[in-house]
């Protein structure tokens, strides 16, 4: 008996935690709608690849593909044996392994040219909204208020970096965004006028992962909360280093966001890496006004940077994406949270609102209970 117990304890100690199932996580969060992004059955490049995305993925028309049209391609899975990126290269033509790879559903490949960082110099950015109209289902959890919009979403995708990928100082990866402003909440444009939020993933130096969010930071003591870093380049890092990206292997990421009730800071951001929960924040102020009434969809945003050339990709390199799925549900987060005092009204100009926002931060810092 003692020996059996010892073996059981040993097995428990050495086996990794059983991977969670996506369907279970989705059910736990009360997500009732789902959408799978369709991928082409053949490799595509150039405008054919762009048009696939524009035609099939419900791209926000104001946003379009905001940059990097030339950096998008659908190619053979880089993990397939002996696959080469260019399966049509003359020296590979007719080889059985290459042909087999060509038969697999292609994956999305994004290029980061040598020297590229931010400012549209490499990578790509678009806003996909396949689930922005609700079925008005009332099948929501008890004590959860619903405005009839999707206030909670989960994004799942697989991401792959080539062997020897050089992460440098950091870069963006796809996440979620919402609010009536489809352009703001990135590139140093704060959530002015409180009309958007964004929550992308980022890799940092040493392939450390995080959620990089454009959300209000006026909540008292928020920036000194454990695992929160309020960066001087605008976005807020959540859970930095709670997981790390790997090269030469596919890895699955699940990002869950539930908007807070507009009057209390009970918003949720949870992140799962390859079937294991890496972190969860439950007391976030993601919006401070019901102007942001829903999560709109996938903010497919990936590039090196960072705002200066020290963030640049030192060589031409690629990331790959596949199996992108979006889940959505009704109802804001239903936990408890501090009252949000810096409530907002629509403001006439960006400049004025920026001034008012900084005043609100100053007031909140001094006067918030």
Ligand X SMILES: *[C@@H]1O[C@H](CO)[C@@H](O)[C@H](O)[C@H]1NC(C)=O
Contact residues: ligand X, CB under 6 A: 29-30, 34, 36, 58, 60-61, 129, 132, 141-144, 246, 249-251, 274, 296, 325, 334
CB of 342 to ligand X, least distance (A): 25
Contacts 24+ apart (CB under 8 A), 365-369: 365/218, 365/220, 367/341, 368/218, 368/220, 368/341, 368/342, 369/341
Q: In the numeric block, which tokens belong to residue 237?
A: 């890092």
Q: Is 274 or 338 the residue whose CB approaches ligand X more closely? A: 274
CB of 321 to ligand X, least distance (A): 14
CB of 35 to ligand X, least distance (A): 7
Residues 6+ apart with CB under 8 A from 133: none
Q: Is 48 or 280 the residue whose CB approaches ligand X more closely? A: 280
CB of 61 to ligand X, least distance (A): 5
Q: Is 60 or 317 the residue whose CB approaches ligand X more closely? A: 60
- Which residues make beta-bridge pairs with 271? 255, 279
264-265 and 276-284 strand pairing? unpaired
Q: Which of 125, 112, 232, 228 is CA-nearest to residue 174?
A: 125
Q: Is 152 or 240 the residue whose CB approaches ligand X more closely? A: 152
Yes or no: say if 261 and 269 are a contact pair by the CB < 8 Å rule.
Answer: no
Q: Is 159 or 360 the residue whose CB approaches ligand X more closely? A: 159
CB of 284 to ligand X, least distance (A): 14
Q: Which of 317, 67, 301 is CA-nearest to residue 201?
A: 301
Biggest alpha carbon distance in the chain? Answer: 75
* Cα angle for residues 26, 28, 31 (degrees, 5° grid): 45
Q: Is 91 or 163 the residue whose CB approaches ligand X more closely? A: 163
CB of 331 to ligand X, least distance (A): 8
Peptide bond into 312 cis (omega under 30): no
Q: Is 40 or 113 the residue whose CB approaches ligand X more closely? A: 40
How far, in Å, CA of 151 to CA of 137, rounded?
Answer: 13
Q: Which of 33, 21, 15 is CA-nearest to residue 295?
A: 33
Q: Is 20 or 229 the residue whose CB approaches ligand X more closely? A: 20
CB of 267 to ligand X, least distance (A): 12
Residues 6+ apart with CB under 8 A from 352: none
CB of 36 to ligand X, least distance (A): 4
């Amino acid at each position: 008996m003692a020996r059996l117990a010892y073996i059981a304890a040993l097995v428990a100690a050495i086996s990794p935690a059983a991977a969670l199932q996506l369907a279970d996580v989705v059910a736990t969060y009360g997500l009732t709608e789902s959408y799978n992004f369709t991928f082409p059955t053949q490799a595509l490049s150039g405008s054919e690849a762009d048009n696939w995305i524009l035609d099939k993925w419900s791209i926000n028309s104001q946003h379009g593909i905001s940059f990097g049209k030339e950096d998008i391609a659908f190619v053979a899975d880089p993990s397939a044996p002996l696959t080469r990126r260019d399966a049509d290269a003359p020296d590979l033509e007719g080889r059985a392994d290459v042909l087999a790879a060509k038969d697999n559903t292609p994956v999305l490949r994004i290029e980061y040219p040598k020297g590229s960082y931010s400012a549209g110099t490499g990578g790509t950015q678009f806003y996909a909204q396949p689930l922005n109209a609700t079925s008005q289902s009332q099948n929501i959890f008890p004590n959860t208020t619903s405005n009839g919009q999707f206030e909670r979403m989960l994004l799942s995708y697989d991401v792959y970096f080539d062997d020897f990928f050089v992460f440098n100082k950091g870069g963006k990866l796809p996440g979620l965004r919402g609010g009536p402003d489809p352009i703001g909440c990135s590139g140093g444009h704060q959530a002015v006028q409180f009309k958007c939020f964004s929550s992308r993933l980022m890799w940092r130096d040493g392939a450390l992962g995080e959620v990089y969010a454009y959300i209000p930071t006026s909540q008292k003591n928020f920036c000194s909360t454990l695992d929160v870093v309020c960066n001087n380049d605008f976005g807020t890092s959540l859970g930095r280093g709670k997981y790390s990206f790997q090269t030469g292997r596919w890895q699955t990421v699940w990002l869950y966001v539930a908007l807070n009730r507009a009057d209390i800071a009970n918003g949720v951001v949870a992140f799962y890496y390859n079937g294991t929960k890496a972190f969860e924040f439950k007391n976030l102020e993601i919006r401070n006004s019901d102007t942001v009434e829903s999560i709109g969809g996938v903010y497919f945003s990936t590039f090196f940077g960072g705002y200066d050339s020290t963030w640049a990709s030192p060589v031409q390199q690629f990331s790959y994406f596949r199996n992108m799925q979006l889940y959505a549900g009704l109802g804001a987060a239903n936990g408890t949270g501090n009252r949000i005092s810096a409530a907002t009204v629509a403001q006439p100009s960006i400049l004025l609102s920026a001034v008012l926002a900084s005043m609100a931060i100053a007031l909140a810092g001094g006067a918030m209970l």
